[in-house]
Amino acid sequence: MNRDVLPRVLGFCLLLFVLTCVFDPADLVLNLKVYIFVLCWVVTLVACLLSREPVGVPNGLLIYCLLFILIPLYSIVWYWLIDGGDRFAGFSMLKGYVLITLAPMLVLARIDLLPRLCVVLTVLAVAVIGVFIALQLMPALLPVLYVIGTQMKMLYVATRAYRADVVLTQVYFVTSPMLAIAIAYYFDKAWSAPNPGKAARFWGLVALNVAGMFLAGTRNNILVSVLLPAVLFLYYARNKAVGALLSIGALAVLVAVFADQLDAFFDPSEISNSVKLRTLEDYAALLADPVNLLFGRGLGAYEDWTGRAPNYVTELTYLEMVRNFGVLGAAVMFGLLLFPIWHAFVVTRSRMSKAIAIGFASYLGMCASNPNLFSSMGILILSVMLSALFLSDRSESSLDVGPSWGARRAAIWYAPSVREGGS
C-alpha cells in the first residue's frame, strides 16, 4: 500500500468506526463495528512499519490500557472459579473494555479524533431534532419508529409519563448522552473564536447540540443539557463572581418555571425510580457478603433482581463496578476513569482540555444511572481524551490525517497543529 494513501484510508476507516459507534451502538444494523476496528489497527500498523520516523506508545498509556483490560479479565477468571454457570455474558462485555486500545492507535497515528467525533455527534443532534419535529407533525409515525428503533437498539421513541401532569415526547437515541462532549467542545470554540462571525457559527452548534440533548427526553439528558452550559459559562467567565450570579440566577429561574417537572423526575414512586430503589436494596444484600464485596461476582454474572428479569447488568453503573470487580478492582477502574479529568485540571493549562473534562465529568454523572459507560460510547470518549493526553511533540508526517488536538508535550492536551510555514 502506498505510504501517501494510508492517511486517507485510516481517516476514512476511523470515520466509519465513529459512525458505527454513534448510530449503530448495538452493532445490529450492519454488524461491522468489530471488523472496522480491526481494519483500523491493520492500517495503523502498516503505516507504522512504513513510517520514516520512529513510532511508539508511551509506557504510561500501555500501563493504563493493560489495567483497563486485565481487571475485567481477572473478574471473568474469578467468576469461573466461584460459579461457572451457564448464564454468563462476560466475554461479550469484554469487547467494550478492549476498545480502550483505540487510544494507543490514535497516539501511534498522531490523530486527533475529537473534531470528527463532534461533527458526527452534531449530526446525531440534528437527527433527534428532526425526529422530534416529524412526530409533532405526524404523530402516527411514533409506533413505526418505536418498533424500528427498538429492534435496532438505537432509538427509543415514546410518550413518557413521569406523572399524570408531566408527559414528555422522548426521542432517545442511546448515544445522545455523548452530546455533552460536543457541547463542551463547541462552547470552547465559540468562546475562543477570533471574530464574531465564527463565534456565531460555533454558538449555533452549541445551541444545536443542547437542543438535541434536551429533546432526547430522558431526565439525565434534560438536566445535563441545562446544567452543562451553565457550568461552562461559570468556568469561562472572567469575573467568577458575576459568572456565578448569572449561572445561579438562570438556573433558579428554570427551577421555578419547571418545578412540577423536576418534582416528577425525582418522585420515588415514579416507575423507573422505584425500580432503581429496589435494585439498591438488592445491591446492599449482595455486597453484605464480604467475598462479593472484596472480590466481586465477576463481569457478566447474572443476578435475580427484584422487580425485573434476571440480568447481568443494571443502570447503577458504579455499584455494578463493585459487583463485577470487588471494591478494590472498582476503585482502580474508577481512578482510571477520573485520571483524564484530574490531569486536565492539575497538570495542563489548556482551557479546551478543561472544557472537555467538564463534559466528560457530566457524562460520568449520567452513567451513574444508565449502563452506557463501558460500551463503545463511553470508551470512545475516554480513548479520544487519553490519546490527546499522551500525544507527544508532533511534526508533519505521513500519518497526519487531520487537525491536531495533540500536545506539544505529553502534559498539554490542546495546541494548534504546527506546520511548516504557518499554523
Residue 284 binned pLDDT confidence (cut-offs 50, 70, 90)? very high
Helix axes 102-109, 376-390, angle to 10 degrees: 40
On whether the CB atoms of residues 402 and 345 are closer than 8 A, the answer is no
Rounded Cα distance, 45 and 35, in Å: 15
Question: DSSP of 274-304, one letter per residue?
Answer: HHHHHHHHHHHHHHTSHHHHHH-S-TTB-B-
pLDDT at 32 over 60: yes
| pLDDT per position as a tens digit, 286-329 | 999 999 999 999 999 999 898 888 899 999 999 999 999 999 99
| pLDDT per position as a tens digit, 178-214 | 999 999 999 999 999 989 999 999 999 999 999 999 9
> Does residue 192 sit in helix, strand or coil?
coil
In this predicted structure, what is the pLDDT of residue 394? 40
| pLDDT per position as a tens digit, 37-77 | 999 999 999 988 888 777 888 999 999 999 999 999 999 99
pLDDT at 401 over 60: no
Stretch among 130-134, 172-176, 222-226, 275-279 having the lowest mean pLDDT = 275-279
Q: To the nearest 10°, the Cα dihedral for 341, 347, 350, 353?
A: -20
**CA end-to-end distance (rounded Å), the chain:** 30
Locate the domains of the chain by residue range. Answer: 6-390
Q: Average pLDDT in the 409-422 region?
A: 33
Contacts 24+ apart (CB under 8 A), 68-71: 68/97, 68/100, 68/333, 68/336, 69/94, 69/97, 69/98, 69/100, 69/101, 71/325, 71/329, 71/332, 71/333
| φ, ψ dihedrals at 125, nearest 5° | -60, -40
Higher-confidence residue of 166 and 215: namely 215
Note the Cα 389 to chain centre separation in Å: 17
| pLDDT per position as a tens digit, 231-254 | 999 898 887 777 778 778 877 877
Higher-confidence residue of 6 and 337: namely 337
Q: With CA atoms as reference, report the closest residue to 360 among 213, 186, 228.
A: 228
Rounded Cα distance, 344 and 280, in Å: 33
Per mean pLDDT, which of 115-129, 276-290, 306-320 is the most reliable?
115-129
Residues 6 or more apart whose Cβ sits within 8 Å of residue 35: none
Q: What is the mean pLDDT of the chain?
A: 85
